[in-house]
Amino acid sequence: MNVVTVLGSTGSIGTSTLAVLALHPDRYRVHALAAQRNVDKLLAQCRQFRPAVAVLTDPAAASRLQQQLHAEAIPTEVLSGAPALEAVAQAPEVDQVMAAVVGAAGLAASLAAARAGKRLLLANKESLVVAGDLLLQALREGGGEIVPIDSEHSAILQSLPADRSRWPSDVRNIVLTASGGPFRRRAADTLDAVTPEEACAHPNWSMGAKISVDSATMMNKALEVIEAHYLFGMAPDRIEVLIHPQSIVHSMVNYRDGSVIAQLGQPDMRTPIAYGLAYPERMASGAPWLDLAAVGRLDFERPDASRFPGLGLAFAALRMPAGACAVLNAANEVAVDAFLRRRIRFTDIQRINADLLAAGSAGPCDTLDALFELDRETRALAQERVARLAA
Ligand code: NDP
Ligand code: MG
């Protein structure tokens, strides 16, 4: 039996992960499920998966969950508070940790899993963006491994040689595909008027609110460029982004001999989730088969840098001193939240991101504490910008 903790179990990735695990009860057991405050959904998941531990970081929500579980005589232990995420990520009985909390809030638990030598199934790309070097160091020291869940990075891993020592010599570059989101064709001078509902209506993928907005601004691809840099050890000039509106080719690798190897599939996160869980084997995911004749055509185009300035910010951040990626991520988290609360306009998100990256809070960021301090400072500055733009 392989034992799994699912962080962010009530979210889009968490729910899809449990759907895959439910197909393989003979192979996987759930040790812990963790979320922030969604009592009803976590209760339903506890009924189905009977985890040893359930975490809600919000204390009031955790005590409501505890009462409900007690009333139903379900013997799951309930923990609350952010440190509980780390506890269930590093528990000795756990083999794999699905890191599917959204935002930098997932970082400490990702690090804890890495240090404890777990297999870290990383959906929470913000962990790598904020603390790529620290997370890789923790994996080396802990003896753990990271398997990306992000569909593009799963595709790259599937398209690279199994022998990692061949990556630097055989690979010319990697190409991350991007759908272009809902506003690929929308007149640029109308982007100011975009509503949260429009931004969250992704043409191909059904996802949580934050990553949906990130897809609409293409900050999602920006974060993924940084993620790819750390996962695959690729310098920025060996990472390319290509718009592919059908989201069927999930990414590809260009080899030095002119070969291109890509991974294709339906836009369904159960495929990369099943790949991560079973890696390096394969198992059923529940995702529908790809019927290329039904898809009919696959289109590709270069991204429009003026419409999607976030991509340029990612490449700039990678060339700046350490900490710049953490600044970009913190600014973006604040800006996206303010947009979802209708305090700022859609186009203000990139204004805030660009301003804060240019303001460049420097300082040492080789420890988690220093990074958290940088994250806090940047959030405070971004909140000031939001207040001014909202006035
Ligand atoms: P959702 O918003 O759907 O879910 C977020 C999950 O995280 C929920 O379980 C939520 O709990 C929990 N959560 C949020 N904040 C906290 C916190 N402070 N402490 C503990 N738990 C918290 O997000 P997604 O599933 O869409 O995305 C999760 C991660 O996966 C993101 O990093 C995203 O970029 C990445 N990803 C997502 C993809 C997708 O298809 N959705 C694709 C590729 C990557 P609660 O419900 O209680 O609020
Ligand atoms: Mg992705």
Q: Is residue 279 part of a domain?
A: no
Whether the per-residue pLDDT at 256 is higher than 80: the answer is yes
pLDDT over 70 (residue 254):
yes
Residues 29 and 73 in one domain: yes
Least reliable range by pLDDT among 91-100, 182-191, 249-258, 269-278: 182-191
Radius of gyration for the chain, computed over Cα atoms and rounded to the nearest angstrom: 20
Measured in angstroms, how far is the CA atom of residue 151 from the centroid of ligand 1? 15
- Same domain? For 222 and 368 the reply is yes
Ligand 1 and 129: CB distance under 6 A: no
Same domain, 70 and 202: no
Looking at the fold, whether 93 and 187 belong to one and the same domain comes out as no
pLDDT(224) > 80: yes
Residues 114 and 211 in one domain: no
Asked whether residue 204 falls in the same domain as residue 74, the answer is: no
Residue type (1 letter), 74: I
How do 2-7 and 96-99 pair as beta strands? parallel
pLDDT above 90 (res 363)? no
Ligand 2 centre to CA of 151 (Å) is 5
Mutation to probe ligand 1, out of 207, 217, 250 (largest number of atoms < 8 A from CB): 207
The rounded Å distance from CA 62 to ligand 2 centre is 31
Looking at the structure of the chain, the number of domains it has is 2
pLDDT given for residue 202 in this prediction: 86
pLDDT for position 366: 85
Q: Tell me the whole-structure pTM to 2 decimals.
A: 0.97
What is the C-alpha separation between 215 and 207, in angstroms, rounded?
A: 10
User: 97 with 118: CB under 8 angstroms?
Assistant: yes
Q: Specify if 88 maps to a domain.
A: yes
Indicate whether 364 belongs to any domain: yes
| C-beta of 333 in contact with ligand 1 (< 6 A) | no
> 287-315, pLDDT tens digit by residue?
999 999 999 999 999 999 888 999 999 99
Q: Is the pLDDT of residue 43 over 70?
A: yes
In a domain, 300, yes or no: yes
- The answer on 162 and 80 residing in a single domain is no
At residue 62, does pLDDT exceed 70?
Answer: yes
- Name the residue type at position 268: D
Instruction: Establish if 281 belongs to a structural domain.
Output: no
For the CA of 61, the closest atom of ligand 1 is: 47
pLDDT grade for 361, boundaries at 50, 70 and 90: low
**What is the model's pLDDT at position 306?**
86
Which residue, judged by its Cα, is nearest atom 9 of ligand 1? Answer: 8
Instruction: For residue 280, tell me if it sits in a domain.
Output: no
- The amino acid present at 209, given as its one-letter code, is A
Integer CA distances (angstroms), 275 to 20, 141, 160, 218, 248, in order: 10, 25, 14, 25, 17
Residue nearest to atom 43 of ligand 1 (CA): 150
Q: Which of 107, 211, 266 to mutate to test the pocket of ligand 1 (most atoms within 8 A of CB)?
A: 211
Q: Which of 113, 148, 183 is the last residue of a domain?
A: 148
Cα 88 to Cα 30: distance, rounded to the nearest angstrom = 11
Q: Give dist(CA 104, CA 374) in Å, integer.
A: 12
Q: Across the strands, what pairs with 257?
A: none
Per the CB < 8 A criterion, the answer to whether 339 and 199 are in contact is yes
Distance from Cα 14 to the centre of ligand 1, integer Å: 7
Indicate the residue among 118, 148, 178 that finishes a domain.
Answer: 148
Domain of 31, CATH number, reads 3.40.50.720
Ligand 1 in reach of 269 Cβ (< 6 A): yes
Tokens 């070969």 belong to 259
Q: For ligand 1, say whether the CB of 285 is within 6 Å of any of its atoms.
A: no
Q: Is the CB of 329 under 6 A from ligand 1?
A: no
Which atom of ligand 1 approaches the CA of 269 most closely?
40
Indicate if ligand 1 lies below 6 Å from the C-beta of 14: yes
Asked if 215 and 138 sit in the same domain, the reply is no
Q: What is the overall mean pLDDT for the chain?
A: 96
| The pLDDT value given to residue 204 | 87
CA nearest to 334, candidates 197, 222, 210: 210
Taking the centre of ligand 2 as the mean of its atom positions, its distance from the CA of residue 64, in whole angstroms, is 34
Domain residues for 165?
A: 155-268+294-390
What residue's CA is closest to ligand 1, atom 39?
A: 207
Q: How confident is the model at residue 362 (pLDDT cuts 50, 70, 90)?
A: low
Residues 160, 137 share a domain: no
pLDDT of the residue at 264: 98
Domain of residue 309, CATH code: 1.10.1740.10
pLDDT at 50: 98
* pLDDT grade for 360, boundaries at 50, 70 and 90: confident
For residue 2, is pLDDT > 70?
A: yes
Round to whole Å and give the CA distance between 224 and 205. 16
For the chain, how are helix, strand and coil distributed in percent, rounded to 5?
50, 15, 35
Ligand 1 atom closest to the Cα of residue 9 is: 9
pLDDT at residue 375 greater than cutoff 80: yes
Q: Which atom of ligand 1 is nearest to the CA of 13?
A: 25
- Residue 155 has which token pair? 């595709």
Specify whether 240 is located in the same domain as 220. Answer: yes
pLDDT of 104-138, one tens digit each? 999 999 999 999 999 999 999 999 999 999 999 99
Residue 323 forms part of a structural domain: yes
Can the peptide bond before residue 280 be classed as cis, meaning omega within 30 degrees of 0?
yes
Last residue of a domain, one of 115, 148, 181: 148
Is 224 in the same domain as 109?
Answer: no
The answer to whether residue 273 is domain-embedded is: no
Q: Quickly tell me which residue has 């991509």 as its tokens.
A: 311
Q: Which ligand is nearest to the CA of 176?
A: 2
- Give tens-digit pLDDT for 177-200: 999 999 999 988 899 999 999 999
Structure tokens given for 270: 């159960």
| Co-location of 179 and 96 in the same domain | no
Closest atom, ligand 1, to C-alpha of 207: 41
What's the distance, CA 244 to chain centroid? 20
- Cα-based torsion angle of the residue sequence 364, 369, 372, 378 in order, rounded to the nearest 10 degrees: -40
